[in-house]
Homo-oligomer: A and B are copies of this chain.
């Protein structure tokens, strides 16, 4: 498998280019609009056919590249069935396998940061979107976020993966690129809670500013980034 983690400096977003081999079909996860040309160039250099672009959820901090990628490459664009994005080729549901030659990818529904958040499980690794971050978790105070649902997604689903599973989030602000489930269980301060109620108290106690891009990004992302304003 070729697995490329790509970083957007402005929003500290990680996007992922995934394929079984040079010359194969490729998937892009959480692409950032401004980097579209770079993704297409990299896919071309690796002789890949970009067949699928997925957002783990509607992002509030950057505009998605989904629409432009579909326009420029003809790829299928997909998100989970709960999303309010209006412009997708298809929607996946909990437990569904994504179609990509020779790569096993399962979408699992992990709401909490938003009500349309999915994680993607691959052999030995998981893309956790904004649900599980490295030494953090995604905020739950907007876009139908729900701390209780996030607790269930974390403790009931993601953290049940084997301890050695590599964790690849949609963001990191501290220069970390990867972690593991075991490491997060032991050292993620948000996960050191006694129960669901304590997690809700912890998340509700956070005082956070709205993301700078939120008023632009959310409406634009409902249109897959093809219009910057609603």
Residues of A within 8 A of B (CB): 4-9, 35, 38, 45-46, 174-178, 183, 186-187
Q: Would you list the 7 A-B pairs with minimal beta carbon distance, nearest first?
A: A7-B175, A45-B187, A5-B177, A6-B175, A8-B175, A9-B175, A177-B177
Given that A45-B187, A46-B183 are contacting pairs, would A174 and B38 also be in contact in the complex, using a CB cutoff of 8 Å? Answer: yes
The 14 listed contacts between A and B (C-beta, < 8 Å) are A4-B176, A4-B177, A4-B178, A6-B175, A6-B177, A7-B7, A7-B175, A7-B176, A8-B175, A9-B175, A38-B174, A45-B187, A46-B183, A177-B177
Q: Which residues of the partner chain B approach A174 to less than 8 Å between Cβ atoms?
A: 38
Q: Please, how many angstroms separate the alpha-carbon atoms of A7 and B178 in the complex?
A: 11
Q: Please, how many angstroms separate the alpha-carbon atoms of A74 and B192 in the complex?
A: 31
A175 touching B35, Cβ below 8 Å: yes
